[in-house]
Amino acid sequence: MRKRINKIIPGIVALLLIVFTSVSVDAQNAVALKLNEILVYNDSNAVDDFGEHSAWIEIFNSSYNTVNIGGCYLTDDLNNPTKYWIPTGDPVTKIPARNYIVFWADNHPTRGIFHLNFDLSDGRTIAIFDANGKTLIDKIEIPSGQKPDITFGRPSNDSDEWVFLEKSTPGANNDYTKKKSAGESFVEMDPYGIGMTMIAMFVVFSALAILFVIYKNMGRYFIRKATPKVKPVADNSKQVHEDAEMSGEVNAAIAMALHLYQSEMHDYENTVLTIQKVSRTYSPWSSKIYTLRKIPNNR
């Protein structure tokens, strides 16, 4: 049985590893960045910090922690992935969780970090590359037919689709429609909480029922394992019989000794004789009253 278990355990471990490694997780680094919205022809849309209307590119941090975009590259040419290097060491390149950053595609890189060395008039592909300049993080091919002041972007943060947006939202969520919270949506369908009670009790019971099944079977296995196999040999059977007849007091004494040992409550005898004073008995010889000098009386 032990051999069989030893064979099974590596299999289970390997299976778990496969499961864990195959599950996709949200990266908490530059990989989480997404191109989110672009405006190619800016006639009367957002103005930059120089008061000019320029094309712009919005990037969204889809992760749940801050990502520093510094060191990454933006380009409008896939053959030249390192066209614009986003400077490092500047706090403004840090994008908070689920937040946005806007770059001005005005071909004026001397105007600051957020001003790119290309514009979007010729570019048909925008891409962002990781700090190694090789790993493509995200790209978008700009379709023809771009109109002035109409942005092209994802209709919502989690969408993979790109459409012409009714309203431009530089530095903000593209989905500006009023949304209900998860709780409101849930209660709309379940105003009295009956559904919640049924689902939740089912899940709680399922979770604990699975535990029940596992421990029930595990218990059976361990009980079987712990039960001594009585061999029909005369001497051994005598030994088993003696063990079975161990009195309750002996068991209790052994249990107490083990408890004291495990809890480190037992004392250590160091074979040195000591006299332990157990009580203070009154004696005039040790009384302070009698040992104090009497105050001299002049009378």
Strands 73-75 and 33-39, bridge-based pairing: unpaired
Compute the half-sphere exposure of residue 137: CA atoms within 13 Å on the CB side of its CA.
Answer: 27
Residue 194 found at the interface with another protein (CB under 8 A)? yes
| Token representation of residue 194 | 């009956």
Residue 200 found at the interface with another protein (CB under 8 A)? yes
Give dist(CA 7, CA 296) in Å, integer.
Answer: 96
Residue 96 found at the interface with another protein (CB under 8 A)? no
Residue 8 found at the interface with another protein (CB under 8 A)? no
Give the nearer residue to another protein in terms of CB position, either 136 or 204.
Answer: 204
Residue 234 found at the interface with another protein (CB under 8 A)? no
Residue 260 found at the interface with another protein (CB under 8 A)? no
Give dist(CA 54, CA 41) in Å, integer.
Answer: 7
Question: Edge to edge, what strands does the sheet with 55-61 contain?
Answer: 100-105, 55-61, 33-39, 152-153, 163-164
Binding residue for another protein, selected from 12, 14, 97, 218, defined by CB under 8 A: 218
Residue 182 found at the interface with another protein (CB under 8 A)? yes
Give the nearer residue to another protein in terms of CB position, either 240 or 255.
Answer: 255
Binding-site size, another protein (CB under 8 A): 33
Cβ–Cβ under 8 Å, residues 176 and 169: yes
Residue 47 found at the interface with another protein (CB under 8 A)? no
Residue 215 found at the interface with another protein (CB under 8 A)? yes
- According to DSSP, the residues that pair with 100 across neighbouring strands are 60
Residue 230 found at the interface with another protein (CB under 8 A)? no
Q: What are phi and psi of 134, to 5 degrees?
A: -120, -35
> Which among 64-72, 99-107, 148-156, 215-223 is the span making contact with another protein, rule CB under 8 A?
215-223
Residue 91 three-state SS: helix
Q: Which residue ranges make up the site for another protein (CB under 8 A)?
A: 181-184, 186-187, 191-194, 196-197, 199-201, 203-212, 214-216, 218-219, 222-223, 226
